[in-house]
Chains A and B, each alone.
Chain A
Amino acid sequence: MSYLSITDADREAMLEAIGVASIDELFAQVPEGVRLRRPLALPPALGEAALARHLEELAARNVHAGVELSFLGAGVYDHYVPAVVDVVLSRGELLTAYTPYQPEMSQGVLQAIFEYQTVICELTGMDVSNASGYDGCTVAADACFVARHVLPDRPKVVLAETLAPQVRQVVRTYAPGFGLEVVEVPHRGGVTDPEEVAAAAEGAAAVLFPQPSFLGCLEPAPALAAAASEAGALPIAHVDLMSLGVLEAPGAYGCALAIGEGQSAGNWQSYGGPHYGFLAARGELVRRLPGRIVGQTVDADGRRGFVLALQTREQHIRREKATSNITTNQTLLALAGLATLAWLGPQGLREVGETCLALAHYARERLPLEPAFEAPSFKEVAFRTPIPAREVVRRARERGVHPGYALGRDYEGMDDVLLVAFTEKRSREDVDRLAEVLAEVCR
């Protein structure tokens, strides 16, 4: 099967118009020595029906959230994706367009990105948002690049150990290229100590901390931001959009940037991607931001329209002096986020947050395990297990329940800690079922 549209007759007519006898002649510019002299060794072509059967077979060999009662979170969450998202994803005019370089052809995408930017600014309490980054990890590296340029005499960033391990790993991958040293502040009982942050932030360009923490605790976020600011570093909060109906906006407690993983708002889990990262900032940082930014303007008749703004920051204009190399980003996923957040509205978002809080609170009482940390939680709670957490996962899965994430995979000394996520898709009865299974497998 192929998606070509040229008939044999077309081919002959086209070759004649070009003035060559064969397609091979067009490739005469490829030196003989670098040509492939055999067919590609690839599996034979499949028709659409056979291809569908093959992919269905592969998909059927995965155990997904529809066949297992899952409490797995740790960065990717099983929140409800409303059907209005399908409206965005099924319209070919949006789905099959590229970056809106030609705004008169792209007012739909441009307006939607402008609305997305507004929603992100509202949720985070920031002045400006870009059109998306790759994910919640790479926006952390992007934010460090911003800080590096804003405070060039401070070649260091501070990461709270309570940030998701993957976020820290990606920052560490990028940091040498930026000329940045990376320092981590260890957790104390699942949260970060503002005094330790204050000490570590001396000479640092930025302090990155999560809210809530990867360990399932609410951080003293305002105190962490203040500690960073007082030391002269930019405070950067890594937040969960779905928490921001009940938790304070980073802008309200003095953060310079707010970043995070957008998956929980509007994206399927999809084995880790594609998702979107969001990045928002205070107004004075706008010219240092990475990625696309949409702005409002007028047309020749004075009517409102939208265009890519501040393109002189970007790689296609500024080249080696650009604020990032981002070109293809995650617009479609971000628009799914916009549709989801608009579907929820302010009341729905608060209700999702309250449901998460209620289920997590109920689980603390109901599960036959002790919470590993005292600090209050949002939608995830770390529990201490009497046998290794990985063994709890294995045994519970045999009973059709995925009980969560074994933190020992990332944190030393936490082999007996299980991180359990409660989204609004889980019910009180689901938590009861989890409690029963944990009681059985932890005996």
Chain B
Amino acid sequence: MISEPGRAWPDVPLLFERSRPGRRAGRPPRPDLPAPEVPAELRRSRPPRLPEVSEPELVRHFTALADRNFGVDTGLYPLGSCTMKHNPRVHERFASLPGFRDLHPLQEDEAAQGALELMWRLQGMLAEIAGLPAVTLQPAAGSQGELTGLLLMRAYFADRGEGETRDTIVTADTAHGTNPASVTMAGYKLAKVATDPRGNLDLDDLRRLVDERTAGLMLTNPSTLGLFDEGIEEIERIFHDAGALLYYDGANLNAVVGISRPGDMGFDIVHFNLHKTFSQPHGGGGPGAGPVAVRESLEPFLPVPRVVREGDTYRLDFDVPKTIGRVRGFAGPFGVLVRAYAFMRSYGPALREMSEVAVLNANYLLARLRDVYEPPYDRHCMHEFVLSARGLKREHGVTALDVAKRLMDYGIHPPTIYFPLVVPEALMIEPTETEPKERLDDFVEAMRAIAREAAESPEVLREAPHGRPVRRLDEVRATKELVLRYDFGELAPALSG
């Protein structure tokens, strides 16, 4: 169900509210063997209050929850920078093949040859797309790929005796929040470079910032404004001339696969968001995968284990003396890798067409909306673009948040809002390549209708949504009162800090 004004959405009780003492679903096997006593001081003293529910009620519960949720399978989901493209259902079958699903990560290499070959081939395809030779599949998400990349920089400079002197990473003021957060976690200092009037990095500002203390740059290209940095070649020279490295945040790679490779742009380290560019079910927040590709000079520092091929066999290689170590358990989020591999094998070299259509779809929306919502830059966009609702705010007191909430009533998931921070009342829109023209037209019509409503009946927007299971939610209260778990009818614990 998408959005139905007037529909009475029943409350869905919490699992704990459905619970009845003595009711149960699963009955684990109980062998006819005595269980030893656990020493008293280690034994569970109070049973956990897990819900006590039967299987029919459990299935209804999750079905009711699904009904109150909206995914790409439900409708258009143009959440900027998240690349919410279609998830091929056959991928779920592949990940569930017993040979993959029931394979233990510590199985002997000779009994995991199919899995290792898949990973080895995936490494090769990612290397080709990155234009960089060496790949690790280990990182669990894009932000972990970022941290891995920064730790690779640390190891690289420490190895060259520059570990103490190079202590700063430059990021754009339009960067995703993960970039500065990763910089801190890697123990680096942060320097921020401004955006120029065309939406590129401000090169004068950059020249001032970069010196012998600079370890590197983190850059998304195209940027979160959906613009390809026209000065990328000069940016590359500024950093490499200073002996620093360039890190490519692959969050927006969906715009340029087969068109321009990060390695050819001069980047030394790249992370991929497999869950964006190469399609994964985002699962309400994850999982993802953030493989990293690097230049030869950084290969000795990649995480272990690495997947290597020797003749016709594959194995996990742990013998990497200068490795930064492990960044997660085992060799990588394998089920995610299976799906990404399948996606890439479906397209083959036509991945370029994927990016072309992503860019076409975004520009079509931009062209049809630019007279109603203000684009901050007068340029074609790449796979996504940013509009500002500041006109609506100025004239009708309607905000980007109101526009977003009202879109829900048109059966469309809102775009990313209030990001990037450099654009006031920002709406960041990414349709992806899998949407047909009719759905794009639906979005155009909805956005234009909302602009009319802002003038005619702004209260309808301010009170939106009207047809979802709940009306607008009080997010401030959630953070003030902090109810973070069911209270079982007791007083909630005091949360402070």
Most buried by A among B257, B330, B379, B494: B330
Q: Is A185 an interface residue (CB 8 A)?
A: no
Complex CA gap A243/B298 in Å reads 42
Cβ–Cβ contact B100 & A111, under 8 A: no
Closest residue of chain A to B14 (Cβ to Cβ) is A115
Within 8 A of B (CB), among A293-337: 293-301, 303-312, 314-322, 324-333, 335
Contacts A42-B348, A46-B345, A87-B62; is A114 near B334 (CB within 8 Å)? no
Contact at A88–B43, with CB atoms within 8 Å?
no
* Interface window among A194-202, A227-235, A270-278, A435-443: A270-278
Residues of B close to A108: CB separation below 8 A:
64-69
Inter-chain contacts of B348 with A (CB < 8 A): 42-46
Which B residues are in CB contact (< 8 Å) with A29?
A: 227-228, 230, 379-380, 382
Decide: B496 and A218 in contact? CB cutoff 8 A: no
B151 / chain A contacts, CB cutoff of 8 Å? 173, 176-177
Contact for B48 among A80, A271, A349, CB less than 8 A: A349
CB-nearest residue of chain A to B330: A272
Asked whether, in the complex, the Cβ of A273 is within 8 Å of the Cβ of B336, the reply is: yes
A222-B39 Cα distance, complex, nearest whole Å: 12
A411 at the interface (CB under 8 A from B): no
Q: Are B85 and A39 in contact (CB under 8 A)?
A: no
Closest to A106 in B: B69
CB distance B333 to A274 under 8 Å? yes
Is the pair A327, B141 in contact by a Cβ cutoff of 8 Å? yes
In the complex, which of the residues A62, A134, A310 contacts B99, with contact meaning CB atoms closer than 8 Å?
A62
Within 8 A of A (CB), among B16-65: 16, 23-36, 38-39, 41-53, 55, 58-59, 62-65
CB pair A109–B281 under 8 Å, yes or no, is no
Q: From the candidates B25, B176, B287, B326, name the one contacting A345 in the complex (CB within 8 A).
A: B25
Q: Is the CB of A94 within 8 A of B106?
A: no
Asked whether any CB of chain B lies closer than 8 Å to the CB of A415, the reply is: no
Q: A193 interface residue, CB < 8 Å from B?
A: no
**Contact call A127/B495, Cβ cutoff below 8 A:** yes
Of all chain B residues, which has the CB nearest A295? B478
Within 8 A of B (CB), among A327-374: 327-333, 335, 338-339, 341-352, 354-355, 357-359, 361-362
With A1-B346, A52-B93 in contact, is A96–B326 under 8 Å at CB?
no
Q: How far is the CA of A359 from the CA of B32 in the complex (A)?
A: 10
User: B360 at interface (Cβ–Cβ under 8 A)?
Assistant: yes
Say yes or no: A97 contacts B140, CB within 8 Å.
Answer: no
Instruction: Give the residue of B87, B104, B187 whose beta carbon is less than 8 angstroms from that of A178.
Output: B187
> Could you mark each residue 261-272 of chain B with 1 if its beta carbon is under 8 Å from any beta carbon of chain A, else 0?
100111000000
Binds A, one of B206-214, B238-246, B408-416: B408-416
Q: Is B144 an interface residue (CB 8 A)?
A: yes
- A314 to B483 CA separation, bound complex (whole angstroms): 18
Kindly state whether residue A66 has any CB partner on chain B within 8 Å: yes
User: Judging by beta carbons under 8 Å apart, are B185 and A26 in contact?
Assistant: no
B67: which of A14, A54, A93, A306 is its contact (CB, 8 Å)?
A93
How many Å lie between the Cα of A83 and that of B463 in the bound state? 41
Q: Is the CB of A6 within 8 A of B436?
A: yes
B422 in the interface, Cβ–Cβ < 8 Å?
no
**Which A75-119 residues sit within 8 Å CB-CB of chain B?**
75-76, 78, 80, 82, 84, 87-109, 111-115, 117-119
Residues of A within 8 A of B43 (CB): 246-248
Contact: A325 with B38, CB < 8 Å? no
Q: Does A153 contact B (CB under 8 A)?
A: no
Which residues of A have CB within 8 Å of B481? 295, 297
Question: Which residues of B have CB within 8 Å of A405?
Answer: 106
CB of B391 closer than 8 Å to a CB of A: no
Given the interface contacts A52-B90, A274-B333, does A284 sit within 8 Å of B345 by beta carbon? no
Q: Which residue of the partner chain, among A43, A283, A299, A424, contacts B28 with CB atoms under 8 Å?
A: A424
| B59 in contact with A87 (CB, 8 Å) | yes
- Asked if B469 and A107 sit within 8 Å, CB to CB, the answer is yes
Residues of the B chain whose Cβ atoms lie less than 8 Å from the Cβ of A78: 102, 104
B410 shortest CB reach to chain A, Å: 12
Q: Once the chains are docked, how many angstroms separate the CA of A131 from the CA of B485?
A: 11
Determine whether the beta carbon of B107 is less than 8 Å from that of A62. yes
A48 at the A/B interface (Cβ < 8 Å)?
A: yes
**Taking CB as reference atom, which chain B residue is nearest A35?**
B260
Interfacial residues of chain B within 359-390, with CB under 8 A of chain A in the complex: 359-361, 363-364, 366-368, 379-380, 382
Q: 10 closest A-B pairs (Cβ-Cβ)?
A: A332-B283, A272-B330, A92-B73, A59-B99, A108-B69, A272-B105, A61-B114, A96-B71, A331-B285, A109-B284
* A and B contact pairs by CB, cutoff 8 A, 29 listed: A2-B350, A3-B279, A7-B437, A14-B360, A35-B264, A36-B260, A42-B129, A45-B350, A56-B97, A63-B103, A64-B103, A66-B102, A84-B55, A87-B59, A87-B62, A104-B405, A105-B413, A113-B285, A245-B48, A274-B335, A326-B143, A335-B283, A339-B58, A342-B15, A350-B47, A358-B34, A376-B38, A397-B111, A405-B106
